[in-house]
Structure 1
Amino acid sequence: MPEKIRIKDIAELSGVSVGTVDRVLHNRPNVSKTAREKVEKALKEMDYHPNMYASALACNKSYNFYCIIPKHEAEAYWDEIEEGAMSARDHRRDFNIKVKMMYYKRFNLETFAKVTEECLKQEPDGIIIVPSKLDATRKFTDALHERGIPFILLDSYMPDLKPLSFYGQDSFCSGYFAGKMLMLIAGKESKIMLMKQTKNGNVASKQQENRETGFRHYMHDHFPDVDIIDVDLPLDGEREEYDTILEEFFDSHPDVHHCITFNSKAHIVGEFLLRSNRRNVQIMGYDMVSKNAECVRQGSISFLIAQHGYMQGYACVQTLFDAIVLKKKINPVNYMPIEILTKENVDFYRRTQL
């Protein structure tokens, strides 16, 4: 059998015309059942595998992917997601891939509903979603299933919604891991500070809730006598307000030397410690945003847990491309690595695709 199989070769083996083979390969109509069976038998005997890249390029179709994420300020985990998604788009530009970002406000179901309704009107080919509340997200994903539009969940895994795929950390394991790492250096402490950012008593994501649950499970199992003291920094607060809250806390708790947070804003506490010249507090936080990294370099944050936001954004777009354009089989659950960064290795962390 020749190394490169031609349509002519398939036609000769199956005993049909070249035109018939072409129609079968491209799943076009006007092919009899008998002829189709002959071609399919010949394809199997020849172990024929179509060049999906070439077929997709020849198709010259454009694909519109939408990414629905929370509205955010600079220096946030979501910036990494956006950069990764746009990099994947650029990498597949030859296939006419377009990616549009759409934003909703955290804790505001009306904006989530408005954004998702607008997204449906655009008739997207595929969607990446950072879920809101389960019921609100389900309403949207049910509509996607009805229309046959594949979608990927990012950040928070909700298997009942039956996504094409999921990208993110196993957040419970991540929180459990964070507790284990923290207590390697804080095993003799009697108190630990847990910094949160909330609005109306709620943290910003299910992922953060699950991380805290994992952390508390570890502490309950191994350090049940350690007092975990919550410090709430309002989600929409200003630096002056944060500084006041933190100063009051550390003045009234001089015996607290370790802080943990499950969001990407550990730098709020880290920068406060640098300004106030408090050097006896160690912080564990999340995400390799630049302000966090700088605090690690200066020593006010001891550890960061990385979740590869850039790679998640990149992988989500690449997965939609693989599923929709190349018709590849997709891995339904993709947990990101749980990596710990310190002053000694933070500058060697690779956030991008190699």
Structure 2
Amino acid sequence: MKDKEITIKDIALKAEVSTGTVDRVLHKRGRVAPSVEKRVLKILKEMEYEPNIIARALSSKKEYKIAVLIPDDAYDNYWFAPKAGIKKSLKELKRFGLTVKFHFFDPYQVHSFVEKANEVNNELPDGIILSPIFHRETLPFVQNWKKAEVPFVLFNTEISDFEPLSYIGQDSYLSGFLAGKLINYGQCDPCTILIAHFDEETSNAAHLEKKEQGFRNYFTQNNLSQKYELIRADIETQNASLTVKQLDEVFETNPNIKAVFVTTSKAFEIAAYLNQKHIADVKIIGYDLLPKNIHYLKNNTINFLINQNPKGQGFWSLQLLADKLIFKKEVPLLKYLPLDIVTKENLNYFVGEEIEG
């Protein structure tokens, strides 16, 4: 362990050069004779010099503008948590000159996303955070950001083809695979299993396709295809009467449904429907600790919730951008958060939890 912190002055004294020369070597700016640079680098390594990045960032007058492009939680309560996570991270980072501007769009209207994405383009931010729920429409914006060398972080929806600075969230495929395992446990008799997608154009939502693929592959890989019939339904919730009509058709056509996998945060829609229709003995697996989901988890209508930690997704999105822009650190391409299985019995350990990962 070093007895004291090594400074630039210590390096300069040992290398018999000025502190300005050491600074130029460290930051690769200005002209330094090759032999001098080699000597300084050797001494830096020998003395295990570690720059005080935090102090440097605090003393810098540079400002960093971050644009956040996410759905408005007024339309879907799920998006309140990542917004809160970003704000929590900002409290720690604003002293380094970092500012955040939110651009909220209607998650059910593509034109709303495009409008807000154009706003981001016009602002020329230093970094961008987004959840690319509209795959096709996001692609041209991503291409522009890459050309402009603006780093962007994806959360919630992983699309590796976009080549972001980093992705924060869960492995969608594995979360679907896990849901399949949870449904199979305790299910002795052959039955029909419903895969329910709510309010999403799945062909344009890569994460939902991956969840369904992982779910289906669990049954295929475990030779359960003969035991279970897997069916899929795309349900709309913007019109309550239409939602009920669609679910009526699914359950009347498939009377042997004994389990439902909801690929979004809207497991409560299935739970409310089953309660309304007095349909019992149907296992429900869904995502996220929304108040409505928690209600039905507590009364045993929902069996399991897979916690995606949306607050943590938002928190780490801003943290990783700050690591890149302010602290000049290497940022991981992927930051997968745990696949937490939440039940009625362990719910209290997750509600109001601190951000982890």
- Normalising by structure 2, we get a TM-score of 0.87
Q: Give the match's secondary structure for 1:64.
A: strand
Do the aligned partners of 1:11 and 1:17 also contact (CA within 8 Å) in 2?
Answer: yes
> 1:129, 1:42 → 2: CA distance?
43
> Once superposed, which parts of structure 1, at least 4 consecutive aligned residues long, lie more than 6 Å away?
none
Give 1:137's aligned residue.
138
Q: Give the match's secondary structure for 1:330.
A: coil
Give 1:336's aligned residue.
337
Residue 212 (structure 2) pairs with residue 206 (structure 1): no
Q: In structure 2, what residue type is equivalent to 1:157? A: E
Give 2:236's aligned residue.
234
Do the aligned partners of 2:176 and 2:215 also contact (CA within 8 Å) in 1?
Answer: yes
> 1:8, 1:257 → 2: CA distance?
72
> 1:98, 1:187 → 2: CA distance?
55
Give 1:217's aligned residue.
217
Q: 1:124 to 1:187 in 2, by over 3 A?
A: farther
Residue 273 (structure 2) pairs with residue 290 (structure 1): no
Q: Write out aligned runs for 1:246-325 (5 A).
A: 246-247=247-248, 249-250=250-251, 253-325=254-326
Q: 1:165 to 1:99 in 2, by over 3 A?
A: same
Farther-moved stretch of structure 1 (54-63 vs 108-117): 108-117
> 2:334, 2:280 → 1: CA distance?
41
> 2:140, 2:254 → 1: CA distance?
46
> 2:110, 2:46 → 1: CA distance?
55
Give 1:112's aligned residue.
113
Q: Give the match's secondary structure for 1:92.
A: helix
Give 1:193's aligned residue.
194
> 1:273, 1:133 → 2: CA distance?
30
Q: CA deviation at 1:330?
A: 1.2
Q: Write out aligned runs for 1:59-78 (5 A).
A: 59-73=60-74, 76-78=77-79
> 2:231, 2:21 → 1: CA distance?
73
Q: 1:218 to 1:22 in 2, by over 3 A?
A: closer
Q: Could you list the runs of 5+ residues in structure 1 that have no partner in the other structure?
A: none
Q: CA deviation at 1:202?
A: 3.9
Give 1:124's aligned residue.
125
Q: Give the match's secondary structure for 1:186.
A: coil
Q: In structure 2, what residue type is equivalent to 1:324? A: L
Q: Give the match's secondary structure for 1:236.
A: coil
Q: CA deviation at 1:275?
A: 4.2
Q: 1:344 to 1:14 in 2, by over 3 A?
A: same
Q: CA deviation at 1:346?
A: 1.3
Q: CA deviation at 1:154?
A: 1.6
Do the aligned partners of 1:196 and 1:203 also contact (CA within 8 Å) in 2?
Answer: no
Q: Give the match's secondary structure for 1:185.
A: coil
Farther-moved stretch of structure 1 (211-220 vs 271-280): 271-280
Q: Over aligned residues, Cα RMSD in angstroms?
A: 2.7
Q: CA deviation at 1:242?
A: 2.7
Q: CA deviation at 1:133?
A: 4.8
Do the aligned partners of 2:85 and 2:313 also contact (CA within 8 Å) in 1?
Answer: yes
Give 1:13's aligned residue.
14
> 1:275, 1:235 → 2: CA distance?
16
Q: CA deviation at 1:60?
A: 3.1
Q: Quick one: percent identity of the two aligned structures? A: 31
Give 1:79's aligned residue.
80
> 1:75, 1:110 → 2: CA distance?
17
> 1:68, 1:249 → 2: CA distance?
35
Per-residue displacement from partner, 1:296-337 (whole Å, max 9, x unpaired)?
A: 011111111111111111111111111111111111112222
Q: 1:250 to 1:141 in 2, by over 3 A?
A: closer
- Normalising by structure 1, we get a TM-score of 0.88
Q: CA deviation at 1:35?
A: 5.0
Q: Give the match's secondary structure for 2:54.
A: helix
Do the aligned partners of 1:250 and 1:256 also contact (CA within 8 Å) in 2?
Answer: yes
Q: In structure 1, what residue type is equivalent to 2:214? A: G
Per-residue displacement from partner, 1:230-284 (whole Å, max 9, x unpaired)?
A: 344214223x433444456546655433222111000112123344444332211
> 1:274, 1:73 → 2: CA distance?
26
Do the aligned partners of 1:76 and 1:264 also contact (CA within 8 Å) in 2?
Answer: no
Q: In structure 2, what residue type is equivalent to 1:70? A: P
Q: 1:121 to 1:182 in 2, by over 3 A?
A: same
Q: CA deviation at 1:181?
A: 1.0
